[in-house]
């Protein structure tokens, strides 16, 4: 194993252990999307009576939102942990060691992926247990997990960039409502063609989060919709790449060895 890979593993393990040791950190991100899934899938069930609604099960329609919400929570955790490292001087001490910046970032992202994987498996299991049928079959279910992990990596890296940029946990937490607003302004509750208010439909169309949700949703209720998948994966990869670029640049500033 190369030095860098070893460093990545060590930092990812630290990130995971740190999260696991604080139940107050990981229980809400696991439970909250499940609660919202239970409440909204019943509260909005009447929407399935709308002409043109693509499925008879609102739970099946709504499940992808849980993955996105989980990814958003993961970004908050990753960002807050890194911000705390900056605040406590851990990052400065790390800068005195031979650890590579790329290893630090990838290790932190590895920690996010660990939590994201646990979340995705639990959300999918609960959905299946409550009768959701994955139209794309077992392969589709695996792809859902891959896309959910991609979303966790994308939002997680964005959280790391915000932490590196602001250097404070409060800074990361204050961005959370803004990111959550992105979810609210997407096609999370209704398909875009059924959104009546034109300005909202336009915002949802311009909002990249809509395409991530629609890709996940297509696997659950449509089967293999290649256009939706291409858009979803494209946005996810784009988000991760841009966030990684921003975070790497910011890390160089933070870890400047003088």
Partner 1 sequence: MRSRLDVAFGLAYRQSTILLKNPSLLLPPMLFPLANFIAFAGGLSRLRHVPGFDFSGGYTGFQFVFVLLQSAVFGGVFTGFGIARDFERGFAKRLLVSAPQRSGLIIGYGLAALFRWSLIAIALTTVALIAGMQVGGSGIDLFGLYALAVIFNQVGLLWACGVAMRFRTSQAAPLMQTPVFLTLFLAPVYVPLHLLQGWIHGVARLNPYTRLLEAGRGLLEGQPTEIASAFLTAALLAVVFALWARTGLTRAERAG
From CA 200, how far away is CA 92, in angstroms rounded?
A: 45
- With b for 16 or more beta-carbon neighbours within 10 A and e for fewer, the 156-184 pattern comes to bbbbbbbbbbbbbbeebeebbeebeebbe
Q: Do residues 70 and 29 touch, judged by C-beta distance below 8 A?
A: yes
From CA 166, how far away is CA 162, in angstroms rounded?
A: 6
- Beta-carbon-side half-sphere exposure of residue 109 (alpha carbons within 13 Å): 23
From CA 206, how far away is CA 130, in angstroms rounded?
A: 33
Binding site for partner 1 (CB under 8 A): 24, 28, 35-36, 39-40, 42-47, 49-50, 170, 174, 177, 180-181, 184-185, 188-190, 194-197, 199-200, 204
From CA 201, how far away is CA 210, in angstroms rounded?
A: 10
Q: In residues, how long is the chain? A: 258
Under 8 Å CB-to-CB from 194, ≥6 apart: which residues?
50, 52, 53
Between 47 and 122, whose beta carbon lies closer to partner 1?
Answer: 47
Angle at which helix 58-88 crosses helix 23-43, to 10 degrees, equals 160
**Tally of CB atoms within 10 A around 93:** 10
In angstroms, give the least distance from the CB of 217 to partner 1: 15
């Amino acid at each position: 194993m190369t030095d860098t890979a070893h460093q990545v593993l060590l930092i990812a393990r630290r990130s995971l252990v740190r999260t696991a040791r604080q139940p107050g950190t990981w229980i809400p991100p696991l439970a909250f999307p499940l609660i919202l899934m239970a409440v909204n899938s019943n509260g909005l069930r009447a929407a399935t009576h709308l002409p043109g609604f693509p499925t008879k099960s609102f739970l099946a329609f709504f499940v992808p939102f849980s993955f996105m919400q989980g990814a958003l929570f993961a970004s908050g955790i990753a960002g807050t942990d890194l911000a705390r490292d900056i605040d406590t001087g851990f990052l400065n001490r790390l800068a005195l060691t031979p650890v590579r910046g790329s290893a630090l970032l990838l290790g932190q992202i590895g920690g996010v992926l660990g939590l994201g994987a646990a979340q995705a498996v639990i959300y999918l299991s609960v959905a299946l247990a409550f009768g959701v049928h994955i139209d794309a079959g077992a392969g589709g279910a695996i792809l859902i997990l891959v896309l959910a992990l991609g979303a966790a990596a994308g939002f997680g890296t964005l959280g790391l960039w915000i932490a590196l940029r602001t250097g404070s946990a409060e800074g990361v937490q204050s961005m959370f409502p803004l990111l959550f607003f992105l979810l609210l302004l997407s096609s999370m509750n209704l398909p875009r063609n059924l959104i009546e208010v034109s300005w909202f439909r336009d915002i949802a169309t311009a909002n990249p989060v809509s395409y991530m949700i629609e890709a996940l949703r297509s696997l659950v209720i449509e089967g293999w919709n290649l256009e939706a998948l291409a858009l979803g994966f494209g946005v996810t990869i784009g988000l991760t790449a841009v966030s990684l670029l921003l975070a790497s640049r910011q890390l160089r500033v933070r870890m400047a060895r003088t």
